[in-house]
Structures are given as C-alpha cells and as structure tokens.
Amino acid sequence: QVQLVESGGGLVQAGGSLRLSCAASRRTFSRYAMGWFRQAPGKEREFVAAISWNGGSTYYADSVKGRFTISRDNVKNTVYLQMNSLKPEDTAVYYCARGDTGAISHGYDYWGQGTQVTVSS
C-alpha cells in the first residue's frame, strides 16, 4: 500500500505563491511518474501537472503553464508543485497521485487526501 500525504495548502491573495508538497510512503516512489490534480466546488477533477520518474519530462495543463512548476526529490520521496501568480480560479482541493508507470501517462493508481488552496481576489 502506498500512502501519499499532501501539505502546503492555505489561503493566499491573488498574485501570491504557494508550494505544495506530497510525501510518499514507499521508497519505490522513484520508479513512478507523479501528478497533481485539482477539484473546485461543483466541478470535476482536472489534471494540473505531471512529472516522469526521474524528472526528465514534465507536462502541464494550459491553464497553469508558465505559472506552476512541478518537481520531485527522489531521495526525500516527495513531489512538489510551486504555484506562482495565483488566481481566484486556482481555488480548489489539490491532490497528488502516483502514476502507474515511470513515464507520464493517463493512469494513476494511488491518490492523496488532498490539500485546500484558496485564492482571494
């Protein structure tokens, strides 16, 4: 069983920054791609960003490209999401997920419990 624990959410003003972290419980973390997703009230969950097993490839939703950066530290079993120039529409619960392969794909098999990000205007 893999546990993913997100942290770093909170309340921030528009234009501000937050850094989310997602710590994984297993050392095999380094073999898998990781992703960040978000779900706003009344909306479906949407993809935000993903990173391959070694950090060599990243992929972003158009809505966050140029503002968010995903990274990982395979020694610390942690993936990060640096969020800059935040907008009120970025308000959501953010989830990290483990990919089912080392490469970025559409499949994710383990999910964290989520962390709330609220951006005030």
pLDDT for position 105: 86
H or E element, residue 7: strand 4-7
At residue 49, the 3 state secondary structure works out as strand
Distance in angstroms (rounded) separating the CA atoms of residues 15 and 32? 32
Q: Where do runs of H (alpha helix) occur along the chain?
A: none
Overall average pLDDT of the 106-120 stretch: 95
Dihedrals phi, psi of 105, to nearest 5 degrees = -150, -170
End-to-end CA distance of the chain: 40
Overall average pLDDT of the 69-76 stretch: 96
Distance in angstroms (rounded) separating the CA atoms of residues 82 and 92? 15
Distance in angstroms (rounded) separating the CA atoms of residues 17 and 7? 14
Of the chain, the percentage scoring pLDDT greater than 90 comes to: 91
Query: Is 90 exceeded by the pLDDT of residue 28?
Result: no
Query: Is 90 exceeded by the pLDDT of residue 5?
Result: yes
Of the chain, the percentage scoring pLDDT greater than 70 comes to: 100
pLDDT for position 1: 83
Query: Is 90 exceeded by the pLDDT of residue 54?
Result: yes
Distance in angstroms (rounded) separating the CA atoms of residues 68 and 84? 6
Distance in angstroms (rounded) separating the CA atoms of residues 67 and 90? 11
Look at 49-58, 81-90, 92-101, 103-112 and tell me which has the smallest mean pLDDT. Answer: 103-112
Is beta strand 115-120 parallel, antiparallel or unpaired with respect to 4-7?
Answer: unpaired
